[in-house]
Amino acid sequence: MATIELQGLVKAYNKTTAVHGIDLTINDGEFVVFVGPSGCGKSTTLRMIAGLEDITAGTLSIAGAVVNDMAPKQRNIAMVFQNYAIYPHMSVGKNIGFGLYTSKLSATEKGQRILETAKILGLEDLLDRRPSELSGGQRQRVAIGRAMVRDPVAFLFDEPLSNLDAQLRAQMRIEIKRLHQRLGTTIVYVTHDQIEAMTMADKIVVMRDGRILQVGTPTDLYENPVDVFTARFIGSPSMNLLTGEIAGGKLSVNQTVAAGLDATAFAEGPISVGVRPHDLLVGAPTHAGFEIAGTVTAVEPLGSETLVHLDIAGAEAIATAPGKLLPRVGSTVSATAQPGALYLFDAQTEQALGRL
């Protein structure tokens, strides 16, 4: 168990800089998820923590000791790879036991540890099988087992679920989360899937272009995104973004003035208005919040609710309707949002200005 500290961490390849001096503290026992689009530097950061990439500048400490120049094995961390990377020429038991390669335990103790780990992961009946005889989920569990068996100070996961189908991914998400609750070991997890980030993390780190944009709890990030990118990245479906204007202390979007909302706290002029699909409701009773009309372009009934795709003066937006309500495509409907559901962003810098 250990705290991991990143101070001004930089990774450069010749002339390209992949990670631009990031600072972050990962507390002992925390489940931290790095999230961001491809090429944002999240995997590179994880690989620097693992010791698989050299650190160009800055310091990386694990449990108080600077580990910049330490080999991966000296850092006592374990890693689970996207492609599992379990050895096809070894049985499940041997694969799990491989994590104990450098350990000085006796053969009996090693055997016990392997069995314990296999039991936790439900692999005890498969110990003699080869990886080729396992399903995708079982292979992923073997990879986790190999990481778990040696009791590392931290687990690093590099997009471990991206090769699994949707159903298995949901199941493994819960399993990894339970495992974290049971073991209490620090976990650093990289994904491009914001649902994984939201459902598993204690703390989410949003990255873009080699920089950290925001660090916070899932709720923090959902409720108070610092800019348009984070706001749209977190939450599914993505936040709608409309062009608006503040004039005379009132917000107007597409010539519709939100009369009930007081926008005097914001500077006059053009503004970007964000509203989450689940806050923009079709078929809800009107109230003193925000209301706008749009043409229905598509309808996605999900059973419990219906996603209504709208065209609001050329801008696309998604609203939510109750499950039984299926607006006709081509019809004009009115969508409303409660006070406080609108996120305002600077039209130029895209930085968050506050909620309305």
Partner 1 sequence: MAEMTANGYELAANRKPIRPGLILTWTVLLVGGLLMITPLLYMFSTSLKSAGQVYDLRLIPLAPSFDNYVKVLSDGRFMRWFLNSALVATTVTLSNVFFDSLVGYTLAKFEFRGRYFIFLAILSTLMIPTEMLVIPWYLMSSQLGWLDSYWGIMFPGMMTAFGTFLMKQFFETVPDDFLEAARIDGLNEFEIWWKVAMPLVMPAISALAIFTFLGNWTAFFWPLIVTTSKELYTLPVGLSSFAVEQSIQWELIMTGAALATIPTLLVFLVLQRFIVRGVMLAGLKG
Q: Which positions lie near partner 1, rule CB under 8 A?
A: 50-52, 71-73, 77-79, 81-89, 98-99, 101-102, 130-132, 136, 139, 146, 163
Give min distance, CB of 183 to partner 1, in A: 18
Give min distance, CB of 80 to partner 1, in A: 9
Give min distance, CB of 243 to partner 1, in A: 43
Give min distance, CB of 125 to partner 1, in A: 19
Give min distance, CB of 73 to partner 1, in A: 4
Would you say 168 or 299 has its CB closer to partner 1? 168
Q: Do residues 210 and 37 lie in contact, with contact meaning Cβ atoms separated by under 8 Å? A: no
C-alpha to C-alpha distances, 107 to 53, 100, 113, nearest whole angstrom: 33, 10, 10
Give min distance, CB of 142 to partner 1, in A: 9
d(CA 21, CA 185): 26
Would you say 43 or 272 has its CB closer to partner 1? 43
Give min distance, CB of 256 to partner 1, in A: 50
Look up residue 350 and give its two tokens.
Answer: 């895209």
Would you say 14 or 331 has its CB closer to partner 1? 14
Would you say 99 or 289 has its CB closer to partner 1? 99
d(CA 239, CA 228): 9
Q: Do residues 80 and 143 lie in contact, with contact meaning Cβ atoms separated by under 8 Å? A: yes
Would you say 131 or 216 has its CB closer to partner 1? 131
Would you say 143 or 197 has its CB closer to partner 1? 143
Would you say 74 or 219 has its CB closer to partner 1? 74
CA R_g for the chain: 24
Q: Do residues 211 and 22 lie in contact, with contact meaning Cβ atoms separated by under 8 Å? A: yes
